[in-house]
């Protein structure tokens, strides 16, 4: 029978991790709980770790289990491969049953961009994305999707095959979202030259000295992983604690670290006003290579502090502080609100257009995949926001959804809904809708259906017709009919431009529908422009309409 590599979900990790950055070496002992999520009883499990690590032992109830170790090509790991242990379980595991397995493995984690370079990405560029490594001076290693430094159970992922890598990685995250993860990291050595900080997640290290010998220990854990990819970092950081923020910067980056420290207070004030007071710890850690792509996992942000960019520091802190104030197990709420808050902060500092420009960058992340949904025939194709583990959706599309909600119901009502949100009460998929509806006293079922519970692609607005006319008293009126050719409805803003000015107004246009409204203008209207950029559309080129001059 064919091996079903995704039959088992690892529902619990309890790992002891020994790190030796000088040797680039990692050794792990621990226990994992495997649950059979397939429909059939299973006797064999394929446990996978990075191809640069080697399996040492697999046991159950203290007794060694037979296993065969083999390489398995997959782009889910930075090396482009996994070390797979095909393990014979002591007994057949029935569907929904679990088994605890004791594991041991070790090996090296070096900088490796193979999965990118073999599809043609130049090495110099690839290593800025694929920056995971252990080294004597700087160690930073991300979890599943980057480096399988803890076991995973996945089918092969391939970078060259369209979206296969992301599909496999997203499926893995969805399966592990409810898993418990616990790790104790330990780093020991002798002599004076040691890293100052060992980070696992957002929690820093405790250190112990025994004469010349020393050890650094850091514990991290999540009762449910959600979108977190457990990450560890160790370097000779300068630590600055300004609760809830811990800032870890490298020598020579003092100006950048100061920029972050200075950005904290205004960011705290802003986030508190919208999301409540941030209290859970957050951490921002520096990169040795200033070109490394920033990365975020839960409440740990890795971002270079080589440059002092106060605008960037501000929005980065706003994002993490929202996580601190607003825990949620729903990715579109947890990350969507944090990205929405970045846009709000941009508006606070640079006006609405600055916020819309910022959101425009997010639109490019998901507009192409939404175009495919729009032309596909299956109604439930695509990625409903409510359950997706695809980053472009739960970050970028979700940011727009929150922004549209805010434009529809206003700041006061949305703040009230957010203020009433409790992660532990968020069990019903319609919980968020009900909170916003209660605060806004408005039915939003159609909006949540089109944007959250289903993926109906994006709307496409155009001006269907415009009739300028004049009342008997000489008042100028335009009757505007807007058409939405897409399958998702929205409340769309539009501008009526006339000699000497413009009026901005809004109109709710449901999917595959038209809606009509009248607008009074002080002088003859000349142009209608639909959408100020706050509603993501598939086509932005058909949004302006010039009103033909009336010939008498």
Minimum Å distance from CB 271 to Zn ion? Answer: 13
d(CA 319, CA 195): 28
> Site map for Zn ion, 416-435, x if CB under 5 A?
--------------------
Minimum Å distance from CB 319 to Zn ion? Answer: 5
Closer residue to Zn ion, CB minimum distance, 335 or 537: 335
Closest by CA to 502, choosing from 468, 475, 527, is 527
Read off φ and ψ for residue 523, nearest 5 degrees: -145, 180
Contact 79, 50 (CB under 8 A): yes
Closer residue to Zn ion, CB minimum distance, 237 or 394: 394
Minimum Å distance from CB 523 to Zn ion? Answer: 47
- Report the residue closest to Zn ion, judged by CB: 338
Minimum Å distance from CB 298 to Zn ion? Answer: 8
Minimum Å distance from CB 296 to Zn ion? Answer: 5
Minimum Å distance from CB 199 to Zn ion? Answer: 17
Structure tokens at 50: 């990075």
Closer residue to Zn ion, CB minimum distance, 81 or 145: 145
d(CA 64, CA 74): 27
Please enumerate, as own/partner, the contacts of 27-32 that have beta carbons within 8 Å and a separation of 24 or more: 27/104, 27/105, 27/106, 28/103, 28/104, 28/105, 28/106, 28/149, 28/150, 29/102, 29/103, 29/104, 30/102, 30/103, 30/183, 31/100, 31/101, 31/102, 31/103, 32/100, 32/101, 32/103, 32/151
Closer residue to Zn ion, CB minimum distance, 398 or 417: 398
- Tell me the residue length of the chain: 552
Closer residue to Zn ion, CB minimum distance, 298 or 468: 298
d(CA 308, CA 429): 42
Minimum Å distance from CB 299 to Zn ion? Answer: 8
Please give, one letter per residue, the 3-state secondary structure of 56-99: EEEEECCEECCEEEEEEECCCCCCCEEEEEEEEEEEEECCCCEE
Contact 250, 235 (CB under 8 A): yes
Closer residue to Zn ion, CB minimum distance, 103 or 144: 144
Q: Output DSSP code: residue 394.
A: I
Minimum Å distance from CB 327 to Zn ion? Answer: 12
Closer residue to Zn ion, CB minimum distance, 147 or 228: 228
Of 36-44, 123-131, 189-197, 294-302: span binding Zn ion (CB under 5 A): 294-302
Closer residue to Zn ion, CB minimum distance, 133 or 297: 297
**174 CB-side CA count, 13 A:** 18
Minimum Å distance from CB 398 to Zn ion? Answer: 11
> Site map for Zn ion, 243-282, x if CB under 5 A?
----------------------------------------
Closer residue to Zn ion, CB minimum distance, 282 or 440: 282
Site for Zn ion in 164-223 (CB under 5 A): none
Site for Zn ion in 295-314 (CB under 5 A): 296
> Site map for Zn ion, 330-349, x if CB under 5 A?
-----x--x-----------
d(CA 69, CA 65): 12
Of 173-181, 217-225, 292-300, 450-458: span binding Zn ion (CB under 5 A): 292-300
Of 11-19, 289-297, 474-482, 491-499: span binding Zn ion (CB under 5 A): 289-297
Closer residue to Zn ion, CB minimum distance, 274 or 494: 274
CB atoms within 10 A of CB 2: 4
Minimum Å distance from CB 339 to Zn ion? Answer: 7
Closer residue to Zn ion, CB minimum distance, 391 or 487: 391
Closest by CA to 458, choosing from 537, 401, 512, 532, is 537
d(CA 242, CA 6): 43
Site for Zn ion in 9-68 (CB under 5 A): none
Closer residue to Zn ion, CB minimum distance, 35 or 339: 339
Residue with tokens 């709710």: 508
Closer residue to Zn ion, CB minimum distance, 89 or 247: 247
Of 227-235, 291-299, 401-409, 504-512: span binding Zn ion (CB under 5 A): 291-299
Minimum Å distance from CB 426 to Zn ion? Answer: 17
| Helices 431-440, 411-419: inter-axial angle, 10-degree rounding | 140
Does residue 405 sit in helix, strand or coil? Answer: helix
Closest by CA to 149, choosing from 244, 224, 50, is 50
Does residue 518 sit in helix, strand or coil? Answer: strand
Of 137-145, 206-214, 327-335, 365-373: span binding Zn ion (CB under 5 A): 327-335
Closest by CA to 80, choosing from 124, 105, 114, is 114
Minimum Å distance from CB 189 to Zn ion? Answer: 33
Closer residue to Zn ion, CB minimum distance, 227 or 249: 227
Minimum Å distance from CB 164 to Zn ion? Answer: 25
Q: Residue 80 to residues 28, 113, 138, 202, 289: CA-CA distances in angstroms? A: 21, 8, 22, 28, 22
d(CA 516, CA 464): 10
494: Cβ–Cβ under 8 A, 6 or more apart, which residues? 463, 480, 482, 504, 505, 506, 507, 528, 529, 530, 531
Structure tokens at 289: 């290579």
Minimum Å distance from CB 200 to Zn ion? Answer: 18
Of 85-93, 231-239, 290-298, 466-474: span binding Zn ion (CB under 5 A): 290-298
Total residues at the site for Zn ion (CB under 5 A)?
3
Residues lying near Zn ion in the complex (CB under 5 A): 296, 335, 338
């Amino acid at each position: 029978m064919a091996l079903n590599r995704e039959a088992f979900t690892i529902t619990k990790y309890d790992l002891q991790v020994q790190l030796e950055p000088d040797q680039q070496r990692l050794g792990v002992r621990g226990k994992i709980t495997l649950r059979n999520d397939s429909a059939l009883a299973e006797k064999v499990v394929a446990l996978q770790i990075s191809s640069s690590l080697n399996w040492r032992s697999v046991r159950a109830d203290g007794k060694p289990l037979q296993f065969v170790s083999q390489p398995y090509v997959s782009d889910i790991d930075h090396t482009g491969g996994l070390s797979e242990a095909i393990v014979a379980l002591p007994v057949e595991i029935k569907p929904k049953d679990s088994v605890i397995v004791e594991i041991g493995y070790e090996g090296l984690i070096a900088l490796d961009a193979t999965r990118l370079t073999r599809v043609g990405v130049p090495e110099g560029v690839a290593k800025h994305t694929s920056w995971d490594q252990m080294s004597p001076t700087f160690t930073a290693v991300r979890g599943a999707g980057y480096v399988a430094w803890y076991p995973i159970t996945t089918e092969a992922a391939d970078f060259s095959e369209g979206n296969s890598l992301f599909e496999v990685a997203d499926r893995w995250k969805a399966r592990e979202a409810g898993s418990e993860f616990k790790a104790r990291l330990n780093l020991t050595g002798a002599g004076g030259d040691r890293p100052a900080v060992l980070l696992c997640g957002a929690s820093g290290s405790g250190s112990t000295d025994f004469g010349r010998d020393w050890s650094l220990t850091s514990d991290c854990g999540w009762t449910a992983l959600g979108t977190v990819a457990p990450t560890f970092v160790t370097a000779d950081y300068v630590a600055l604690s300004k609760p809830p923020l811990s800032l870890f910067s490298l020598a020579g980056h003092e100006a950048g670290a100061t920029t972050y420290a200075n950005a904290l207070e205004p960011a705290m004030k802003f986030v508190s006003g919208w999301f409540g007071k941030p209290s859970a710890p957050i951490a921002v850690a520096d990169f040795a290579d200033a070109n490394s792509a920033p990365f975020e996992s839960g409440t740990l942000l890795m971002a270079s502090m080589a440059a002092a960019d106060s605008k960037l520091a501000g929005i980065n802190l706003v994002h993490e502080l929202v996580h601190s104030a607003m825990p949620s197990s729903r990715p579109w709420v947890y990350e969507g609100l944090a990205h929405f808050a970045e846009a709000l902060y941009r508006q606070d500092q640079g006006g609405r257009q600055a916020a819309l420009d910022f959101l425009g960058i997010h639109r490019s992340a998901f507009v192409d995949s939404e175009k495919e949904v729009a032309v596909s025939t299956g109604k439930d194709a695509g990625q409903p926001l409510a359950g997706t583990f695809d980053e472009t959706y739960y970050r970028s599309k979700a940011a727009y959804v929150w922004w549209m909600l805010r434009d529809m119901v206003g700041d006061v009502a949305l703040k009230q809904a957010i203020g009433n949100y409790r992660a532990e009460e968020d069990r019903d998929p319609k919980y968020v809708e009900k909170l916003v509806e209660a605060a806004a006293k408005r039915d939003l079922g159609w909006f949540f259906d089109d944007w959250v519970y289903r993926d109906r692609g994006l709307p496409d607005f155009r001006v269907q017709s415009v009739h300028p006319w004049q009342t008997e008293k000489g008042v100028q009126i335009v009757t505007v009919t807007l058409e939405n050719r897409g399958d998702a409805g929205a409340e769309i803003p539009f501008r009526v431009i006339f000699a000497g000015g413009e009026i901005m107004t809004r109109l709710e246009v449901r999917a595959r529908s038209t809606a009509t409204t009248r607008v009074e203008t002080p002088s003859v209207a000349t142009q209608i422009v639909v959408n100020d950029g706050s509603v993501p559309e598939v086509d932005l080129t058909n949004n302006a309409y010039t009103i033909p001059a009336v010939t008498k």
